[in-house]
């Protein structure tokens, strides 16, 4: 039986956005995911143009994986040129761009081409590995050892793209590779609407289910939706040499590339590009302004800005800590001053004494001290007053404490005479 790859593609707008800027294609040998950026119209247009152009490589026959690799790279470069030409003809689309992750099966190999932060995964023998490398700001920080992979997950610039197809760079740097594949391999292509909101352990678990690619793709999209799915979600699952039909599967296009390309122009008109396909445009709920193509020194500018942000954060923490420490010191001073305005009568070495402060301590430091000793022996007092003195008698002032002592002295004298 001829070795085949059976794939399924699913795309969903998500729970927040009102239009789908993703596009996907699953054909006989070609599989592509593109995630558009550019706000109101550009994202839809960019991903659809790219996928439709790259889809042309699905009909060719390749004598080697190297030929397919070159064809993919050429198709991405051609798509980039087409995007630039479209922006030149329609300036309202300036700034649009798209990620692309694509692969072509040739024999026992996959030819891969990639730019941006959409991803390709390989599931083999229960293990999941990421085949592509994200072209993001935080990935560069991870690669350079500036932050850890765990810190990258919550970094405020985790969505900033360093490379995309679009109208900015006429010669974008595209990653290509050739990877061997075997029977039983399961490949996953996805936009960051999946990888950013479903962790890899859960992805591996779902891919490990012995279900058809279409069911697995649906489950992955549902998982993203259950986690909130604030972004568009596009998933392609492709199985190598499954038990299926010998005839090539029917090509499937999803997302923005599945309908006519239309976008708004001045005067409230809607313009349709004649030879391309795109889902009709709707107003988007949120622009992907964090997905940017970088110039040569963009990384250094971001690093400098991050250093300033870290310094500001440290300064804020130091100021906050200083305020807390000052508040604690002020509270301690005021509290201590209050204790020294208090007095009580108690026992000291078996005799009645007047204390200033409160009967308490902070660690080894007592908050009271004897300020006046007397010759009144506690044992000479009536039993009731002995107990009162041992438990201490609170006084509002030093004068009041002296008056209490005078009364105790009288009681002691009366008892000794009796």
What's the pLDDT band for 64 if we cut at 50, 70, 90? very high
Residues near 195 by beta carbon (within 8 Å), at least 6 away in sequence: 119, 203
Once rounded to an integer, what is the mean pLDDT over residues 317-346? 89
Q: Return the pLDDT at 158.
A: 77
For residue 408, is pLDDT > 50? Answer: yes
Once rounded to an integer, what is the mean pLDDT over residues 253-282? 67
**40-63: b (≥16 Cβ within 10 Å) or e:** bbbbbbbbbbbbbbbbebbeeebe
Separation CA 185–CA 80 (nearest Å): 31
What's the pLDDT band for 278 if we cut at 50, 70, 90? very low
Distances (CA, A) of 172 to 97, 119, 166: 12, 18, 9
Place of tokens 């998982």: 223
Place of tokens 């599989």: 31
Residue extents of the structural domains in the chain: 5-294, 343-417
Q: 115 vs 88, which has greater pLDDT? A: 115
CB 183 within 8 A of CB 115: no
Once rounded to an integer, what is the mean pLDDT over residues 55-62? 93
For residue 324, is pLDDT > 60? Answer: yes
CB 240 within 8 A of CB 182: yes
CB 237 within 8 A of CB 187: yes
For residue 181, is pLDDT > 50? Answer: yes
Here the tokens at position 369 are: 């001290």
What's the pLDDT band for 61 if we cut at 50, 70, 90? very high
Here the tokens at position 411 are: 């009681």
Segment 385-406, tens digit of pLDDT: 889 999 999 988 999 999 989 9
Place of tokens 């699952």: 237
Q: Return the pLDDT at 267.
A: 61
Q: Name the percent of the chain in helix, strand, coil, to the closest 5.
A: 40, 30, 30
CB 105 within 8 A of CB 240: yes
Distances (CA, A) of 234 to 41, 56, 192, 261, 293: 18, 20, 8, 18, 22
The three-state secondary structure class of 264 is: strand
Q: Return the pLDDT at 79.
A: 96
For residue 119, is pLDDT > 90? Answer: yes
CB 379 within 8 A of CB 403: no
Q: What number of CA atoms fall less than 13 Å from residue 321's CA on the CB side?
A: 6
Once rounded to an integer, what is the mean pLDDT over residues 356-378? 89
Q: Strands across the sheet with 351-362, in order? A: 365-377, 351-362, 343-348, 393-395
What's the pLDDT band for 414 if we cut at 50, 70, 90? confident
For residue 212, is pLDDT > 60? Answer: yes
What's the pLDDT band for 296 if we cut at 50, 70, 90? very low
Here the tokens at position 201 are: 């352990």
Which ranges of 90-123 does DSSP label H, i.e. alpha helix?
Answer: none
Judged by average pLDDT, the poorest of 23-32, 47-56, 253-262, 284-293 is: 284-293
What's the pLDDT band for 294 if we cut at 50, 70, 90? very low
Question: Ranked by mean pLDDT, which of 53-67, 355-369, 391-405 comes out on top?
Answer: 53-67
The dotted CATH code for 5-294 is 3.60.40.10
Distances (CA, A) of 157 to 16, 78, 164, 302: 20, 29, 16, 9
Q: How many helices and strands, by DSSP H and E, does the chain display?
A: 10, 18
Q: Return the pLDDT at 149.
A: 81
Separation CA 254–CA 319 (nearest Å): 53
For residue 298, is pLDDT > 80? Answer: no
Here the tokens at position 229 are: 């799915």
Once rounded to an integer, what is the mean pLDDT over residues 172-182? 96
153-158 long-range contacts, Cβ below 8 Å, gap at least 24? Answer: 157/290, 157/302, 157/306, 158/196
What's the pLDDT band for 284 if we cut at 50, 70, 90? very low
Write down the mean pLDDT value for the chain.
86
Q: What number of CA atoms fall less than 13 Å from residue 287's CA on the CB side?
A: 11
Separation CA 201–CA 251 (nearest Å): 30
The three-state secondary structure class of 400 is: helix
Comparing C-alpha atoms, which of 367, 350, 351 is closest to residue 359?
A: 367
Once rounded to an integer, what is the mean pLDDT over residues 212-223? 96
The DSSP H or E segment spanning 402 is: helix 398-417
Separation CA 348–CA 43 (nearest Å): 85
């Amino acid at each position: 039986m001829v070795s085949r790859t059976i794939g399924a593609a699913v795309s969903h707008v998500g729970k927040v956005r009102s239009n789908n800027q993703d596009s996907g294609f699953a054909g006989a040998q070609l599989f592509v995911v593109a995630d558009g950026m550019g706000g109101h119209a550009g994202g839809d247009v960019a991903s659809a143009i790219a996928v439709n152009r790259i889809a042309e490589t699905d009909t060719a026959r390749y004598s080697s994986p190297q030929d397919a690799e070159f064809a993919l790279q050429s198709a991405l470069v051609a798509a980039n040129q087409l995007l630039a030409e479209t922006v030149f003809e329609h300036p309202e689309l300036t700034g649009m761009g798209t990620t692309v992750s694509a692969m072509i099966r040739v024999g026992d190999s996959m030819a891969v081409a990639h730019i941006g932060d959409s991803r390709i995964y390989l599931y083999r023998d229960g293990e999941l590995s990421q085949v592509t490398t994200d072209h993001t700001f935080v990935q560069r920080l991870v690669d350079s050892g500036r932050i850890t992979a765990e810190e990258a997950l919550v970094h405020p610039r985790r969505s900033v793209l360093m490379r995309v197809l679009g109208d900015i760079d006429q010669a974008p740097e595209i990653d290509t590779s050739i990877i061997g594949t075997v029977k039983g391999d399961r490949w996953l292509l996805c936009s960051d609407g999946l990888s950013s909101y479903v962790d890899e352990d859960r992805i591996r678990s779902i891919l490990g289910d012995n279900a058809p690619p279409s069911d697995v793709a649906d489950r992955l999209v549902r998982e993203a939706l259950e986690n909130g799915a604030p972004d568009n979600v596009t998933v392609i699952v492709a199985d190598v040499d499954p038990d299926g039909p010998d005839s090539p599967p029917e090509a499937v296009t999803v997302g923005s590339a599945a309908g006519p390309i239309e976008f708004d122009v001045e005067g409230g008109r809607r313009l349709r590009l004649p030879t391309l396909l795109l889902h009709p445009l709707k107003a988007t709920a949120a622009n992907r302004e964090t997905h940017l193509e970088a110039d040569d020194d963009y990384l250094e500018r971001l690093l400098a800005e991050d250093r300033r942000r870290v310094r500001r954060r440290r300064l804020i923490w130091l100021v906050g800590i200083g305020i807390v420490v000052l508040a604690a010191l002020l509270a301690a001073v005021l509290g201590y001053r209050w204790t020294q305005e208090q007095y009580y009568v108690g026992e000291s070495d078996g005799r009645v004494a007047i204390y200033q402060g409160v009967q308490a301590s902070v660690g080894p430091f007592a908050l009271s001290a004897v300020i006046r000793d007397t010759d009144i022996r506690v044992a000479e007092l009536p039993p009731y007053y002995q107990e009162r003195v041992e438990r201490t008698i609170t006084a509002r002032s030093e004068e009041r404490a002296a008056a209490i002592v005078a009364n105790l002295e009288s009681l002691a004298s009366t008892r000794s005479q009796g």
